[in-house]
Chains A and B, each alone.
Chain A
Amino acid sequence: MFRQLLYTQWKWSRLVLLIICLASFALPLLSVQGVRPDDLGRFDIEQMLAGIQTWGLLYPILAAAAALILAMTTWGPDHRGKHIYALSLPIPRWHYALLRFGAGCVLLAAPVVAVWLGALVASAATRLPAGLEAYPTILAMRFALAALVAYAAFFAISAGTNRTAGIVLGVIGGLVVVQMILLVADTNINLVGPFMLQLFVWPGPLEIFTGRWMLIDV
Chain B
Amino acid sequence: MSHAVEIRDLHYRAGKTFEIRDLAVNVPTGSMYGFLGPNGSGKTTTIRLMLGLLRPIKGTITVLGGAVPRESPRILARTGYVPEQPHLYTSLTISEALAFHAAFYPTWDWKWANELLGQFQLRRDQGLARLSKGEMGKLEMLLALAQRPELLVLDEPTDGLDPVVRRDVLTALLDYVSQHNATVFISSHLIHELERICDWVGVMDRGRLVTELPMHSFKSGIKRLRVEHAPALPGDTPFVLLAREGGNGSLETWTVRGWQAPMRQYFEGVGASLREIVDLDLEEGFVELLRTFREPTIGA
Whether, in the assembled complex, A92 has its beta carbon less than 8 Å from a beta carbon of chain B, the answer is yes
Tell whether A87 pairs with B77 under 8 Å between CB atoms, given A7-B96, A8-B92.
no
Whether A88 is near chain B, meaning CB under 8 Å from some CB there, is yes
A/B pair count, beta carbons within 8 Å: 54
Chain A, 11-67, CB within 8 A of any chain B CB: 11-12
For window 83-113 of chain B, which residues contact chain A by CB distance below 8 Å?
83, 85, 87-92, 96, 99-100, 103-105
Asked whether, in the complex, the Cβ of A1 is within 8 Å of the Cβ of B104, the reply is yes
The answer to whether B87 and A85 touch across the interface, beta carbons within 8 angstroms, is yes
| Interface residues of B, count at CB 8 A | 24
Closest to B105 in A: A90
Pairwise interchain contact B100-A90, C-beta atoms closer than 8 A: no
Q: Are B73 and A90 in contact (CB under 8 A)?
A: yes
The answer for the CA separation of A137 and B161 in the assembled complex, in Å, is: 58
Q: List, in ascending order, chain B residues with CB within 8 A of A84's CB.
A: 53, 83, 85, 87
Q: Which B residues touch A89, using CB under 8 A? A: 76, 104
B83, B85, B96, B104: the one within 8 Å of A90 (CB) = B104
B51 at the binding interface (Cβ < 8 Å): yes
Residues on A with C-beta less than 8 A from B89 are 8, 77, 81, 85
Which residues of B from 50 to 104 have beta carbons under 8 Å from A? Answer: 51-53, 72-77, 81, 83, 85, 87-92, 96, 99-100, 103-104
CB of B213 to closest CB in A, whole Å: 29
B73 touching A91 by the CB < 8 A rule?
A: yes
Interface of B is mostly: loop
* A8 proximity list for chain B (CB < 8 A): 89, 91-92, 96, 100
Whether, in the assembled complex, A4 has its beta carbon less than 8 Å from a beta carbon of chain B, the answer is yes
Q: Is the CB of A88 within 8 A of B83?
A: yes
Q: How far is the CA of A81 from the CA of B89 in the complex (A)?
A: 8
A87:B53 contact, CB within 8 angstroms: yes
Residue-wise interface mask of A (194-214) relative to B, using a CB-CB cutoff of 8 A (1 in contact, 0 not): 000000000000000000000
Pair B53/A90 contact, Cβ less than 8 Å = no
State whether A77 touches B103 (Cβ < 8 A).
no
Interface check A163, CB cutoff 8 A? no
Determine the chain B residues whose CB is within 8 A of the CB of A3 once the complex forms.
Answer: 103
Scoring A residues 82 to 113 as 1 if CB is less than 8 Å from chain B, else 0, what string do you get?
10110111111000000000000000000000
- For this complex, 30 residue pairs linking A to B, each with C-beta atoms less than 8 Å apart, are A1-B104, A4-B103, A7-B96, A7-B100, A8-B89, A8-B100, A11-B91, A11-B92, A11-B96, A77-B90, A81-B87, A81-B89, A84-B53, A84-B83, A85-B87, A85-B88, A85-B89, A87-B51, A87-B52, A87-B53, A88-B51, A88-B76, A88-B81, A88-B83, A89-B76, A89-B104, A90-B73, A90-B74, A91-B73, A92-B72
Which B residues lie at the A interface, using CB under 8 A? 51-53, 72-77, 81, 83, 85, 87-92, 96, 99-100, 103-105
Given contacts A77-B89, A89-B76, could you give 13 more A-B pairs where the C-beta distance is less than 8 Å?
Answer: A8-B89, A11-B91, A11-B92, A12-B91, A81-B87, A81-B89, A84-B83, A84-B85, A84-B87, A88-B53, A88-B81, A92-B72, A92-B73
